[in-house]
A = this chain, B = another copy of it.
């Protein structure tokens, strides 16, 4: 961690020198192995996490035992949920799971509150993180309510594809990502395969016809 992790967060670059120092000394870089639950209902989070590396999957466990994927926190973003727990003492039903090995900055409650009082820039950073998440949730709701599954799946495949156009995920995983049943994923993928857009193997989807998927994924917006 040469120099400062702060450079990874554009929103914090404008912090005055003294605040920046206080933030650095009052926080700690932590590593978390893949699969760990970073936060969960019942745990009062005492740290605000800013992700340096890796991804955290935020999902909600339903009463019925099933799960909805809510959003994904990437490097350079923060787990606002944790913030909310920290400041509001409210119980969230959301769970955060490290999808990969994760490096993050942990800002303890005291430091957080102190900085939130002192620095407008810091406050703005936090509020922006909040609004970002809220907007994400809005578009998620919009998608769930109005978007066809095939369109959503196409879009998600494109998002999840690595640089070799490969998605490593089982049908079941894709199902919970989109809040639908595995069977629906299986059928839709079969259809994609029939159209020559993808090839399938156990746990793997290879995109062979990117343009087709892209056209489908865009079709929703185009209708406007």
| Chain A residues close to B by CB (< 8 Å) | 60, 62-64, 66, 68, 70, 81, 83-85, 87-88, 90, 92-94, 113, 116-118, 120, 123-124, 127-128, 130-135, 137-142, 144-146, 179, 220-221, 223-224
Contacts and interface: CB of A to CB of B under 8 A. Distances in A.
Contacts of A123: 87, 113, 116-117
Contacts of A81: 134
Given A90-B132, A127-B83, A134-B134, A224 B141 contact: no
Counting chain B CB atoms within 10 Å of each CB, the highest count among A83, A138, A224 belongs to: A138
A68 B127 contact: no
Contacts of A124: 87-88
Contact of A92 (B62, B138, B220): B138
A141 B221 CA distance: 22
Nearest to A123: B116
Give the dominant DSSP class at A's interface: helix
| Chain multiplicity (copies) | 2
10 contacts: A81-B134, A87-B127, A88-B124, A90-B132, A90-B135, A116-B116, A116-B123, A117-B120, A134-B137, A144-B145
Given A116-B123, A179-B145, A130 B84 contact: yes
B60 A141 contact: yes
B128 A88 contact: yes
Contacts of A138: 60, 70, 92-94, 137
A64 B223 contact: yes
A84 B127 contact: yes
Contact of A220 (B63, B118, B141, B145): B63
Given A134-B137, A220-B63, A87 B128 contact: yes
Nearest to A223: B64
Given A90-B128, A220-B63, A134 B84 contact: yes
